[in-house]
């Protein structure tokens, strides 16, 4: 059998059938019928040459008759595809099978790529048809163009696929889902527009964009990946600003998400949900120029893509919020742990401090006694004899006693520093308390400065100017958190390594009836376009992933809840200045606190009888010993023991009771005393290691604040007892 490729076409100059007179009525009728039938018709010779083709066939194949008449069916190999994208070999063409077998062939759907690159789809059939006067068997090919239907099916599938992807965004939380989210819609957009490259970008607050890239490769397959944020190009920024599509013919190297490859054609389309722009789609390297009609057909896909981008944004916001809530939960746990640790530290620290205070007091007394001894000996001995006598008992060097006092003072100062650190931790562990009180703003600022010290010292010098200000009504822990956040923000606006070149300043002052707190830095400043959004939740000027963008939002919420306001003044490159304004509280005049050198209040002329209730043996032993000079002390190690002591002899002037004990609380002791000795209940003073349940805090507030936080100085105890007895 002769191969198809070995034959030449049998055609007339007019491209018709040789046996038909072109001027005859029959020929004209046949030509007219071929032109008006709704489909393509091609007559093929036995050797595969094209003998005749109507106008619909020429348009479908993208070839005018002068070019088509020189073709064989083998010339279309490589440009014909099955529905699954596989190339269709010439022997599988319906017309080739018909020519080979002499039998009619069933319908087969094939795609044919036109010379200009467009892919057209049709359903082909082939019937045997004898050639005139040759005795050879040719064929007639008929086909129906289904390109529009195919494109509609692709759109429908892509739309459904996008909707499924949107649902996947909401339902899946694994990291792999995020990587694959945009690949399906991009593949559909590339297929519909004939593009070889595309991206979907979700703009971020810092001017960059979160991207998904997709590119077609030879053979119709595609590959994609999700990238880290990159700067947006000018064309994409133009679309984000205008909300209108933009196209460019031969734009060259665009940069940004387009990469450093010169693009032949480019189009950027906006993605919007309602009136809100949520992203852009970029397409490039299409076979044919992009046109507005073609892009308008993408409307449903773009809407679904916009939903997808918005859903991804909401998903990420939700995950940020969940992360923040988890962090808040961890901080709450740390706060609870800190409170518990503070309680455990404060009890042993209390008897360390009490012993050091006793040591300091006894050293002073010993020095005083030595001086009196010298004076007494002077009445009987000469100075050389006194020195000789003191040398024998090694008491001649007054510097020894001074050294003893200095060692004691240093140890006491170190223990009190531990006490202050524990109290600062307790301040931050009380962030969630609802009870408001008078707050010393300067003290809250000092606590925040201590907490931020390690962040500041490598970046800038700290300058403080804390003025004479009124207290405010609020939550000490929350306000300390505000000032800590502002200090940390100031520090992180300055790079490490050159602390001598930068300054962070903190200033407090009164202005009218407001307390003002200002935190300023010489850092990088904030761009003007970001100032209005600085206190919005999740907004951050830091690098993507460097922060959740909730610090300043929390500051704003806390300050507003205190009836105040927070303002910012910033110059890019010159630094920022945050000012917190809080309404003042009615100023209270505190009793003057004696300095460390002042004597304790004068002990009462009549010794008072004191019941000391605490289940810490060391506290009971040390405190009982120290106050025994001024009080007649009776001790009890818990609720039952206290009840026994009071029932045996209720004539106590004061009850000094710990709040937390193994067999009961200070509240339990107070409840029993109120029921059995109501007058004595009014003279109870409570001690606490710092751990408060809401119920315990409410109870202490009801007692008018008659409580001491361990560890405390003895003069504080004397002052509180004196105040209690004076009521």
Report d(CA 114, CA 194) in Å as an integer: 13
pTM: 0.41
Is the separation of the CB atoms in 139 and 153 below 8 Å? no
The domains of the chain are located at 4-145, 151-318, 431-590, 608-726
Q: Which residues of the chain have a pLDDT value below 50?
A: 1-20, 133, 169-179, 216-222, 431-432, 543-550, 588-605
Architecture of domain 608-726: 3-Layer(aba) Sandwich (3.40)
**What pLDDT shows up at residue 646?**
94
End-to-end CA distance of the chain: 127
Omega before 711 within 30 of 0, i.e. cis? yes
Give the pLDDT of residue 592: 42
The DSSP 8-state label assigned to residue 279 in this structure reads E
27 three-class SS: helix
How far is 174 from 164, CA to CA, in rounded Å?
A: 16
pLDDT, residue 177, reads: 43
Topology match between the domains 4-145 and 151-318: yes
Confidence (pLDDT) at 335: 59
User: What pLDDT does residue 256 have?
Assistant: 74
Question: Which of helix, strand or coil describes residue 19?
Answer: coil
| Sign of the dihedral through C-alpha 239, 244, 245, 251 | negative
Please say whether the beta carbons of 690 and 343 come within 8 A. yes
Residue 343: its pLDDT value, please? 65
**What is the structure's pLDDT at 710?**
81
Residues 683 and 654: their CA atoms lie apart, in Å, by 5
**CA max distance for the chain:** 165
Is residue 200 within 8 Å of residue 281, measured between CB atoms?
Answer: yes
Q: Which candidate, 250, 289, 290, 255, places its Cα nearest to that of 269?
A: 290
Just give the CATH number of 431-590. 3.30.565.10
Secondary structure string (H, E, C) spanning 98-140: HHHHCCCEEEEEEEEECCCCCEEEEEEEEEEEECCCCCCEEEE
Give the pLDDT score at 424.
63
The superfamily CATH assigns to domain 4-145 is PAS domain (3.30.450.20)
Q: What is the pLDDT of residues 256-278, one digit of tens each?
A: 778 778 888 888 888 877 777 77
From the number of C-beta atoms within 10 Å of its C-beta (0-12, 13-18, 19+), residue 56 rates as: buried
Q: Span 151-318: which CATH code?
A: 3.30.450.40
Q: What is the pLDDT of residue 10?
A: 39
CB 41, CB 32: distance < 8 Å? no
How far apart CA 21 and CA 36 sit, in angstroms, is: 21
The b-or-e profile of 379-400 (16+ CB within 10 A means b, else e) is: eeeeeeebeeebeeeeeeeeee
List, as one string, the DSSP characters of 164-199: HHHHHHHH--SHHHHHHTTHHHHHHHHHHHT-SEEE
pLDDT of amino acid 674: 94
């Amino acid at each position: 059998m002769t191969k198809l490729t070995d034959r030449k076409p049998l055609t007339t100059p007019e491209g018709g059938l040789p046996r038909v007179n072109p001027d005859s009525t029959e020929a004209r009728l046949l030509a007219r019928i071929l032109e008006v039938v709704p489909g393509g018709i091609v007559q093929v010779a036995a050797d595969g040459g094209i003998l005749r083709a109507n106008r619909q066939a020429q348009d479908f194949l993208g070839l005018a008759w002068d070019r088509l008449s020189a073709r064989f069916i083998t010339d279309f190999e490589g440009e014909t595809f099955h529905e699954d994208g596989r190339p269709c070999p010439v022997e599988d063409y319906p017309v080739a099978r018909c020519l080979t077998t002499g039998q009619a062939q069933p319908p087969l759907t094939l795609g044919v790529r036109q010379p200009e690159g467009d892919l057209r789809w049709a359903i082909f059939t082939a019937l045997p048809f004898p050639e005139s006067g040759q005795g050879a068997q040719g064929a007639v090919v008929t086909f129906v163009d289904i390109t529009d239907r195919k494109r509609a099916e692709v759109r429908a599938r892509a739309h459904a696929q996008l909707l499924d992807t949107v649902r996947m965004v909401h339902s899946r939380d694994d990291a792999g889902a995020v990587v694959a989210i945009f690949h399906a819609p991009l593949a559909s957009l590339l297929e519909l527009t004939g593009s070889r490259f595309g991206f979907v970008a979700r703009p971020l607050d810092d001017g960059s964009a979160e991207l998904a890239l997709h590119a077609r490769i030879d053979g119709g397959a595609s590959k994609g990946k999700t990238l880290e944020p990159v700067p947006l190009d000018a064309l994409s920024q133009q679309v984000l600003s205008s909300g209108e599509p933009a196209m460019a013919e031969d734009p060259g190297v665009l940069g940004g998400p387009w990469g450093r490859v010169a693009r032949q054609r480019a189009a950027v389309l906006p993605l919007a949900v309602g009136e809100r722009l949520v992203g852009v789609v970029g397409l490039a390297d299409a076979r044919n120029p992009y046109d507005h009609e073609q892009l308008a057909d993408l409307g449903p896909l773009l809407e679904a893509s916009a939903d997808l981008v918005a859903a991804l944004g909401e998903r990420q916001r939700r995950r940020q919020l969940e992360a923040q809530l988890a962090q808040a939960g961890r901080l709450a746990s740390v706060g609870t742990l800190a409170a518990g640790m503070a309680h455990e530290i404060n009890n042993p620290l209390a008897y360390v401090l009490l012993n050091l205070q006793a040591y300091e007091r006894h050293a002073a007394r010993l020095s005083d006694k030595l001086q009196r001894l010298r004076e007494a000996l002077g009445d009987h001995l000469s100075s050389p004899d006194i020195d000789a006598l003191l040398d024998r008992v090694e008491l001649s060097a007054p510097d020894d006693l001074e050294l003893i006092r200095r060692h004691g003072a240093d140890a006491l100062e170190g223990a009190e520093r531990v006490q202050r650190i524990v109290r600062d931790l307790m301040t931050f562990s009380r962030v969630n308390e609802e009870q408001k009180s008078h707050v010393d703003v300067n003290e809250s600022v000092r606590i925040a400065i201590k907490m931020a010290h390690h962040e500041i010292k490598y970046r800038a010098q700290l300058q403080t100017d804390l003025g004479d200000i009124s207290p405010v009504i609020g939550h000490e822990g929350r306000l300390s958190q505000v000032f800590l956040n502002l200090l940390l923000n100031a520090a992180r606006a300055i790079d490490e390594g050159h602390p001598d070149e930068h300054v962070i300043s903190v200033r407090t002052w009164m202005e009218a009836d407001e307390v003002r707190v200002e935190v300023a830095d010489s850092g990088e400043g904030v761009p003007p376009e970001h100032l209005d959004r600085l206190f919005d939740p999740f907004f951050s000027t830091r690098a993507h992933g460097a922060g959740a963008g909730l610090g300043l939002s929390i500051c704003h919420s806390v300050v507003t809840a205190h009836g105040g306001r927070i303002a910012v003044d910033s110059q890019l490159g010159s630094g920022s200045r945050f000012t917190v304004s809080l309404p003042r509280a009615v100023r209270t005049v505190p009793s003057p606190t004696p300095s460390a050198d002042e004597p304790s209040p004068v002990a009462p002329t009549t010794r008072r009888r004191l019941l000391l209730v605490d289940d810490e043996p060391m506290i009971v032993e040390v405190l009982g010993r120290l106050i025994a000079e001024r009080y007649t002390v009776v001790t009890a190690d818990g609720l039952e023991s206290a009840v026994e002591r009071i029932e045996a002899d209720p004539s106590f002037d004061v009850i000094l009771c710990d709040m937390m004990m193994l067999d009961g609380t200070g509240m339990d002791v107070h409840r029993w005393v109120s029921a059995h000795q109501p007058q004595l209940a009014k003279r109870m003073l409570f001690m606490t290691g710092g751990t408060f349940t809401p119920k315990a805090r409410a109870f202490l507030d009801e007692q008018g604040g008659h409580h001491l936080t361990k560890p405390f100085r003895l003069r504080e105890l004397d002052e509180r007892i004196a105040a209690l007895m004076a009521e």
